[in-house]
Copies of this chain bind each other. A is one copy, B any other.
Amino acid sequence: MKQSQLFTKTLRSIDKEEKSISTQFLLKSSFIYKELAGAYVYLPLGLRVLNKINDIIREEMNAIGGQELFLTSLQNPELWKKTDRWGDESVDNWFRTKLKNNTELGLSFTHEEPLTNLMKNYISSYKDLPKFAYQIQTKFRNELRAKGGIMRCREFLMKDMYSFCRDQKEHEIFYEKSKQAYINVFERCGLGDITYLTFASGGVFSKYSHEFQTLAKNGEDTIYVDKKRKLAVNKEVYNDEVLNNLNLDKKDLIEERAVEVGNIFTLGYKFSTALDLQFTNENGVKQNVFMGSYGIGPGRVMGTIAEIYNDKNGLMWPKNVSPFNVHLLDFRTNKDDKFYNILQKNNIEVLYDDRNENPGVKLKDADLIGIYYRFILSDKLGDKIELKKRTDKTNQILSQKESLDLLKKEFFK
């Protein structure tokens, strides 16, 4: 894409209320736009990052047998009354609305109820199990206060997967697979090294749930990390009994601030009992389905990446989630599209800064936007390219062919 055509620009002034540096960078570089407190527009550059995160999540969920669907936001209260999650006393963050005939509806903040109910069409025998369904869809949560940019919103995308198994044993096999799938997602998004599988409070059917917590000094959560074993314990369950259970030693644990980028949860029979999702087992006996839920917020992952990967000049996107592979800055007096076209023909994603701006402006914008590779064309370089990664301190100068080979190696190995 040619930057002269891009409808957004980098901005000089932004909303002073946004305190976090990463949110300021996301706003200044026009990845996002604040529509109202807790609701953000994804502008073209931001949507490219979000879609890359979504695609990574899809690949990993599909790899463990997940099947994608797309549920509705509008919800009929009847279903939620059966699980006692309609009233304000049990759920305090519904957005409610009404049909013209005054029928009350809700905007879904999660989707256990409608999916469990839908599954009654498809699950009747043990032969129908296990099954795994997920979606990437908008959630609405009527938070009292919205803060932290795209980290905690009133309207946001969520990948939520739900598992339906014959029993706890079958569930646990999938639950373990899902842990690895989640680890893969964060690894591919550039957060692998600093994201910890974290024990958190469970429910009736499981002593613990598991969170994926990414270390970040502005994180909302406090966790205790065993870096050697690559495990952590959320403050909410940090006590001697739990440490004993998990065979963790206080001496090995460091207190850290972190962002919850994902969680997985054993639901057990809670929803299948309330909504009557049953199957007939091998012996002809009816049983409730054993369920689990698995969430990741792609927008929060994007916000976390921005929070981790930045310097004083702007964002620094990891390779797999960078909005483009290359930011090609053209400083030449007589610009032409030749090298841009070569890159495009080779399926390299390029943002081509063909604007009539001086090099200083282009360099500053490139640092703010933070695309993985920066390539420079200039009169003094002739046919050569000056290139560096956003995270590098030093440049190298290569021929067009050499630089293309390097990109091919990096992006299509």
Contacts and interface: CB of A to CB of B under 8 A. Distances in A.
Interface of A: 1, 5-9, 11, 30, 33, 35-36, 38-44, 47, 50, 65, 67-76, 95-100, 105, 107, 114, 118-119, 121-122, 131-133, 138, 140, 142-144, 154-155, 164
Contacts of A118: 33, 41
Contact of A47 (B41, B65, B68): B68
A245 to B, nearest CB: 35
Nearest to A35: B72
Given A35-B72, A97-B95, A154-B74, A114 B41 contact: yes
A44 B61 CA distance: 14
A411 to B, nearest CB: 19
Given A35-B114, A97-B97, A41 B70 contact: yes
Contacts of A9: 121-122
Contact of A44 (B33, B68, B96): B68
B133 A72 contact: no
A403 to B, nearest CB: 26
A105 to B, nearest CB: 8
Max chain B C-beta neighbours (<10 A), residue from A36, A133, A143: A36
A311 B290 CA distance: 40
Contacts of A42: 69-70
A9 B131 CA distance: 12
A36 B74 contact: yes
Contacts of A74: 35-36, 38-39, 140, 154-155
B5 A65 contact: yes
Max chain B C-beta neighbours (<10 A), residue from A11, A41, A138: A41
A69 B97 contact: no
A298 to B, nearest CB: 11
Contact of A39 (B33, B65, B72, B138): B72
Contacts of A33: 118, 121
Given A8-B121, A36-B72, A40-B72, 19 more contacts: A6-B67, A7-B119, A7-B122, A7-B133, A30-B121, A33-B121, A35-B71, A35-B76, A35-B114, A38-B74, A39-B72, A73-B140, A95-B97, A95-B98, A97-B97, A97-B107, A99-B142, A99-B154, A100-B143
